[in-house]
Amino acid sequence: MTVVEEISGEPADARGRVEELRALRERARRGPSDRATEAQHAKGKLTARERIALLLDEGSFREVEQLRRHRATGFGLEEKKPYTDGVITGWGTVEGRTVFVYAHDFRIFGGALGEAHATKIHKIMDMAISAGAPLVSLNDGAGARIQEGVSALAGYGGIFQRNTRASGVIPQISVMLGPCAGGAAYSPALTDFVFMVRETSQMFITGPDVVKAVTGESITQNGLGGADVHAETSGVCHFAYDDEETCITEVRYLLSLLPQNNRENPPAADTDDPADRHSDTLLDLVPVDGNRPYDMRKVIEELVDDGDFLEVHERWATNIICALGRMGGQVVGIVANQPQSLAGVLDIEASEKAARFVQMCDAFNIPIITLLDVPGFLPGVDQEHGGIIRHGAKLLYAYCNATVPRISVILRKAYGGAYIVMDSQSIGADLTYAWPTNEIAVMGAEGAANVIFRRQIADAEDPEVMRSRMVKEYKAELMHPYYAAERGLVDDVIDPAETREVLVSALAMLRTKHADLPSRKHGNPPQ
């Protein structure tokens, strides 16, 4: 049915044509039916337009190709040609800054992607790249539109290609608000951040029915690819929330910490938190005894403006913390060992988590603060066979390749290769500070003494007394707090209470840092 056939009467003048246009737009905005909207709400899900209204500043959304319809025939498609073709695209603002968005409308074809649907997404992605503004996808789709065959599949290819072209150029955020199965799941995996909502969003390559048919394993959709699974086990999801409203509010917060593109700095913010604020609390937070755990999050709270920061991948690889916050009003990325989890060691997952975070910060001009309290890499057959060498090298490569301002602070333990990998001065940190509680060494004193003084300990009348004496001797000679400073391996040993002041001052000095990498097409990072 044509547009003319859908509208009764022939407009007599321009005003009549405008009324006709308004009627069409209202039909597109309303969606397929009230019943479809009620069904969406009954699942605890918002409609695509309700989601966009939450994301963008009020009244700022400008829609693109609202009246687009598919041209496919067969399988009854020619009788069902709704406006928007199941995806709403356009741009608006978040806190006054331009953001592009596309949102699947599950009420139309289950949000499935067809040729026209894909073309709309391609267009808005191209616009975002050209304008140099973030792209947010609100995903709630049932995969490729089967009735359109390979034309629909080709549409995904165009999305993946643009995801890759936009990578490191504009921030890309995927918000999962419904099912995402098969090849469709690769687009979120290519973006910078993935948000999910518990119970209503799932991501998997093959669904529970296929898994059961092939492997005999029975599992629910949430058990296979729900928000908690991807937030805790797979690491696919960076943020998981209980409801859509909270999720989308947090997307707005994340956008406030990111630049528009790779040619801009993140937005600064006014703060009443003094740059020279001392924090004597830090003297009590971190125990001198290297074997006693503490919560590194509390240290970060003391350092950032108003104690406010956004942790990325909070529930995956918990032995390392990656977070965005502000110091002196300027956005910083923070990478920190977490002694409360696995004593803060580096393992395969922690290395991967931190490496990608460092790469993201470097791509978007976010200075990196590294807080070290690391006893080494996690030993074990599983780690070695799983490729800890290869995965640990990812973090090393990411730091070495980063040209943004990099400042590291050694709070306590910094042993072996893990110390080098965690942005030590030797791999290019601009400034390295240490607390008086630092222990920088090849390994812990006990292990070192057992190696160096093996014969003396074995030949002693009381090996335990001799071991204890040798441990103290090793600490006194090679692990005292000023050993590294005396050799220029750290720039200064500072009072923990003055850490915030030191960091804010250093960040201000490094704000104009410029560093060029050698000319090359691209590097070949370890995989």
Question: Could you read off the pLDDT of 422-440 as tens digits, one per residue?
Answer: 999 999 999 999 999 998 8
Could you give the CA distance from residue 240 to residue 229 in angstroms, rounded to a whole number?
10
Quick one: average pLDDT of 242-247? Answer: 96
Quick one: average pLDDT of 404-420? Answer: 95
Q: Which residue has the higher pLDDT, 444 or 527?
A: 527
Q: How confident is the model at residue 465 (pLDDT cuts 50, 70, 90)?
A: confident
78 has a pLDDT exceeding 70: no
b/e per residue 106-135 (b: at least 16 CB within 10 A):
bbbbbbbbbbbbbbbbbebbebbbeeebbb
% of the chain exceeding 70 in pLDDT: 94
Beta-carbon contacts of 452 under 8 Å, excluding residues fewer than 6 positions away, are 470, 474
Could you give the CA distance from residue 184 to residue 180 in angstroms, rounded to a whole number?
6
Half-sphere exposure of 496 (CA within 13 A, CB side): 20
Q: How confident is the model at residue 17 (pLDDT cuts 50, 70, 90)?
A: confident
**pTM (2 d.p.):** 0.92
Reported in sequence order, the residue ranges of 378-503 that DSSP labels E, i.e. its strands, are 406-415, 431-434, 439-441, 492-493
Question: Could you read off the pLDDT of 121-176 as tens digits, one per residue?
Answer: 999 999 999 999 999 999 998 777 767 778 778 888 999 999 999 999 999 999 99
The answer to which of 182-191, 372-381, 388-397, 443-452 has the lowest mean pLDDT is 443-452
**Cα Rg, the chain, nearest whole Å:** 27
Could you give the CA distance from residue 26 to residue 32 in angstroms, rounded to a whole number?
11
Question: Could you read off the pLDDT of 370-409 as tens digits, one per residue?
Answer: 999 999 999 999 999 999 999 999 999 999 999 999 999 9
Which residue is listed with tokens 């609202």?
66
Torsion of CA 269, 271, 274, 280, to 10 degrees: -100
DSSP code of 441? E
43 C-beta neighbours (distance < 10 Å), count? 12
Burial class of residue 3, CB neighbours in 10 A (0-12, 13-18, 19+): exposed
Lookup: tokens for 168: 């490191």
Q: What is the pLDDT of residue 483?
A: 84
The set of catalytic residues is: 182-183, 417-418
Q: In terms of DSSP bridges, do strands 135-139 and 97-104 run parallel, antiparallel, or are they unpaired? A: parallel
Q: Give 275-314 as a DSSP string.
A: TT---THHHHHS-SSTTS---HHHHHHHHSGGG-EEEEST
* C-beta separation of 377 from 388 below 8 A: yes
Beta-carbon contacts of 311 under 8 Å, excluding residues fewer than 6 positions away, are 297, 321, 322, 323
Question: Could you read off the pLDDT of 287-317 as tens digits, one per residue?
Answer: 998 889 999 999 999 999 999 999 999 999 9
Quick one: average pLDDT of 337-354? Answer: 97
* C-beta separation of 226 from 178 below 8 A: no
Lookup: tokens for 221: 């959709």
Mean pLDDT computed over every residue of the chain: 90
Lookup: tokens for 139: 């995903």
3-state DSSP call for residue 449?
helix
222 has a pLDDT exceeding 70: yes
Could you give the CA distance from residue 166 to residue 403 in angstroms, rounded to a whole number?
20
- Report in angstroms the alpha-carbon separations of 411 from 374, 483, 499: 9, 15, 10
Lookup: tokens for 197: 């909502």
Q: What is the pLDDT of residue 72?
A: 67
Could you give the CA distance from residue 230 to residue 93 in angstroms, rounded to a whole number?
29
* C-beta separation of 483 from 440 below 8 A: yes
Half-sphere exposure of 356 (CA within 13 A, CB side): 19
